[in-house]
Amino acid sequence: MRTGASMTYELDQIEMREAYAGTLIEIAQKNSEVIALEADLMSAISTNKFKAACPDQFVNCGIMEANMVGVAAGLSLTGKIPYLHTFASFATRRAFDQLFISGAYAKLNIKILGSDAGVTSEHNGGTHMPFEDIGLVRIIPGATVIEVSDAAMLASMLRQVEQIYGIHYIRTIRKKAVKIYDEHTDFEIGKGKVLREGNDVTLIASGIMVAEALQTADILAKEGIGAAVIDMFTIKPIDRDLIIKYAARTGAIVTIENHNCINGLGSAVAEVLAEHAPTRLKRIGIDEQFGRVGTTDYLKEYYGLTKEHIARKTKELLGNR
């Protein structure tokens, strides 16, 4: 882990999709019960490499997400460990009842990778832009919801969920993320990662917004505001103790997510605060809007997800002291 002002915010060496395919090959080669499923997005997530390496453990289901989730359930019934991928919108919005009933209610073991998180679906636009996937899976009893912030974390999560029975939803972008962790970082599902200390405010972020939060802390530091930064990569179960601790320490919390403010990271944090540690809170995310077409940079600006917007909203919160 690299923390502090020296951080340079460079992109990872590898794309998230390469990390997915590469790590899954490694997992599958050790465990013949692991099966990778795709719904005609093999080329988009680089699992053509997986298919070449482990042809007997790969199934391209075609464009049938609902059936893919059901097939995964059937595979799990017989002891296999299915990892399925599709764009996050299709893994959750489209196949929600299948995930809910055939997956979770039936208490089966399915690992889901939802890709093209939020604004990073860029030129696929509003139809493909998942701002509600976290919320949909979060409301499923027993499901675990993870949003990864870089390739090292993605690899760690993929390896860890192989060992834990149940429904795991991992949200990711497909291309290069800002590198935050080195390959040997330990991550514990359910525990947030404190990346920077500060006493004036705590920025809690996930996914691509972690790098943005760190840069926001740089801006705030120049103005004499000490911002703690937490990578809350497990959105469910949320790290309640860490939230309470930093609420007490800083007295103000800002959540930052590339997702609808409703039922995402901000809601999860708000629920903890409201019940256990009422604290001034600002939720930054997508507010009552659908997706639209554009580059990630344009969309971050459009939806108010840049470090400048976050710094301004943080100061507004602190100004209301």
- Residues taking part in catalysis: 65
- H or E stretch including 162? helix 151-162
Q: Which is nearer to another protein, 71 or 201 (CB)?
A: 71
Q: Measured from the CB of residue 58, what is the shortest distance to another protein in angstroms?
A: 10
Determine the distance from the C-alpha atom of residue 71 to the mean position of all C-alpha atoms in its chain, rounded to a whole number: 24
Phi-psi region of 62 (alpha: psi -120 to 50; beta: other; left: phi over 0): left
Nearest alpha carbon to residue 228 among 206, 251, 200: 200
3-state secondary structure of 145: strand
Strands 144-147, 234-236: pairing kind:
antiparallel
* Tokens 């999709």 found at: 17
Q: Which is nearer to another protein, 168 or 196 (CB)?
A: 168
Q: Measured from the CB of residue 78, what is the shortest distance to another protein in angstroms?
A: 4
3-state secondary structure of 60: strand
Q: Measured from the CB of residue 113, what is the shortest distance to another protein in angstroms?
A: 18
What residue type is 99 in one-letter code? L
Q: Which is nearer to another protein, 71 or 178 (CB)?
A: 71
- H or E stretch including 148? none
Tokens of 17: 């999709």
Spatial distance between the Cα atoms of 321 and 315, rounded to a whole number of angstroms:
10
Q: Which is nearer to another protein, 54 or 211 (CB)?
A: 54
What residue type is 262 in one-letter code? I
Q: Measured from the CB of residue 56, what is the shortest distance to another protein in angstroms?
A: 7
Q: Which is nearer to another protein, 2 or 80 (CB)?
A: 80
Tokens of 125: 């636009």
Nearest alpha carbon to residue 304 among 262, 268, 258: 258
Alpha-carbon separation of residue 19 from 118, 175, 273 (angstroms): 19, 10, 35
Q: Measured from the CB of residue 40, what is the shortest distance to another protein in angstroms?
A: 12
Q: Measured from the CB of residue 136, what is the shortest distance to another protein in angstroms?
A: 16
Q: Which is nearer to another protein, 104 or 153 (CB)?
A: 104
- In this structure, what DSSP letter does residue 178 have? B
The footprint of another protein (CB under 8 A) covers: 35, 56-57, 59, 61-62, 64, 66-67, 69-80, 97-98, 101-102, 105-107
Alpha-carbon separation of residue 263 from 24, 123, 241 (angstroms): 29, 25, 20
